Structure 1
Amino acid sequence: MTEFVLVAGAWLGAWAWDEVVEELPSARALTLSGLAEKREVPAGQERHVRDIVEEIERLDLRDVVLVGHSYSGVPVGQAAERIGDRLRRVVFVDANVPVDGESFLDGWDSDWVREAVAAGGGSWPPPPVEQFVELGLTAEQAARIVAGATPHPGATLTEPAALTGTLPTLPATYIKCLLDGEEPLPAVTELLRNPSWDLVRMDSGHWPMFSRPRELARVLREIAA
């Protein structure tokens, strides 16, 4: 049976996937160190990669569809290389992808994030409700995100990814949420040139697990079929 492992992006824990998990009986969501119920656990980029790999190995999961949203595409892409034949497919939901030797903050206009981390004492504070509403969420959905969000550990954003070089050859799908811009980042576009990668478009904002959970679950089932 296909096992879906879902990893949320910045500020969020496993709870962010609750409505998607309801639609995918074989799915489990994972909270990364330094966030939500693990907020007191020290975390860097490598720790986040190990969080994912160790959980998959601990549960002895096979036929894994590993899903990363937004920030978590960086550790998820690295973990996908490390779990070997346990992987069925890696899926990036409107996510950044890892580039060897580069951090999450490299490759895009992220100066404003660096400034926010500096102002936040080394953590990236969650944005206010208004910012989420502007990006396609209802006031209720935005309030839910902010209520559950925790500051994101800054080291996970600045430490570089370490790849083995197999990511371009892995079976992979990139889900582009069109209300967040029609074109993926350049690093994603480069990976999509590989025959084992494909692109799916969703008419949604950046947080489809909140705004379109049933549709996202359906897309994930179709990808895994």
Structure 2
Amino acid sequence: MANYVLVAGAWLGAWAWDDVVPHLHAAGHGAYPVTLSGLGERKRQPAGQRTHVQDVVDEVERRGLSDVVLVGHSYSGIPVGQAAERIGDRLNHAVFVDSEVPSDGISFADRWWQGRHAFEETLAGDGGSWAPLTLADCEGQGLTGEQSGRLVSGATPHPGASLTEPAEMRRPVGELPATYVKCLLDGPEPSEYVAASVSSGGWEYAEMDTGHWPMFSAPDDLARILLRPASRA
């Protein structure tokens, strides 16, 4: 039995995995979705990047989990990649779902497509947080109206410090046993940082013909990909 620790991206909490968890349980595995500090029901808790890494590590250690498959979606690939390094031989595999990946000394904001300064101005305009996504952000992402509504209504502002603090990695993330899942409606190619890890030959690569939030738009297909590492154990 594998133990899945699932971390959704910016603005989202454990609830985002509600349609995926039953598939993992049905296959006989443990599934533990995490709400990061400063989000969802934990929105009043201060949080930076290191806090989010510790949230993931604490979930593994508090539950005494082994044979762990860490799953990071979007922003959460950054703390999940760091946590995967920190949990040592408890790790079975990491799965990065249409996500960012950590590099030592680099923050989410550093790789923002308009540059770090523009991103910091966005955060400053929202009181230091990243404002939640809107229905307009969901367009073209393979979501039904109901799915978009559920996604937007559950989103909470994302703590800005977690986006501007740099990652801390002892080794390149590409050395982890991992799979990268690219959601094609959000762009046909992974970022150059991800492509370097995939092309090194150490990572598996999967594509989904859906948008950036596959836990909502295609939970059955996503679960099938997530189950692959456990089937090889």
The answer to whether TM tops 0.5 is yes
The structure 2 residue matched to 1:106, chosen from 100, 106, 110, is: 110
Q: Is the 8 A contact 2:65 2:90 kept in 1?
A: yes
Q: Is the 8 A contact 1:133 1:139 kept in 2?
A: no
Structure 2 unaligned runs (5+)? none
Residues 76-225 of structure 1 mapped to structure 2, 5 A cutoff: 76-111=80-115, 113-165=119-171, 167-225=173-231
- Please name the residue that 1:42 is paired with: 46
1:106, distance to aligned residue in structure 2 (A): 1.8
Q: 1:3 to 1:107 in 2, by over 3 A?
A: same
1:127, distance to aligned residue in structure 2 (A): 2.1
- 1 CA distance for matches of 2:196 and 2:136? 33
The structure 1 residue matched to 2:56, chosen from 52, 58, 74, is: 52
Q: Between 59-68 and 138-147, report the one with greater CA deviation.
A: 138-147
1:119, distance to aligned residue in structure 2 (A): 1.2
- 1 CA distance for matches of 2:51 and 2:81? 14
Q: 1:116 to 1:137 in 2, by over 3 A?
A: farther
**Residue identity (%):** 58
Note the alpha carbon deviations across 1:50-93, whole angstroms, 9 max, x for none: 00001101111000000000000000000000000000000000
- Please name the residue that 1:27 is paired with: 31
Amino acid at match of 2:41: E
1:167, distance to aligned residue in structure 2 (A): 2.6
- 2 CA distance for matches of 1:67 and 1:168? 15
- Please name the residue that 1:9 is paired with: 9
Q: Between 131-140 and 87-96, report the one with greater CA deviation.
A: 131-140
1:170, distance to aligned residue in structure 2 (A): 1.5
Note the alpha carbon deviations across 1:88-133, whole angstroms, 9 max, x for none: 0000000000011010122340446433312111000112212213
Note the alpha carbon deviations across 1:167-195, whole angstroms, 9 max, x for none: 32221100000111111111101111333
Q: Aligned-pair RMSD on alpha carbons?
A: 1.3
Structure 1 unaligned runs (5+)? none
- 2 CA distance for matches of 1:142 and 1:73? 22
Q: Is the 8 A contact 1:113 1:124 kept in 2?
A: no
- The size of the alignment, in residue pairs, is 225
Q: Between 90-99 and 161-170, report the one with greater CA deviation.
A: 161-170
Deviating above 2 A after TM superposition, structure 1's stretches of 4 or more consecutive aligned residues are 110-116, 133-136, 193-196
Structure 2 SS opposite 1:32? coil
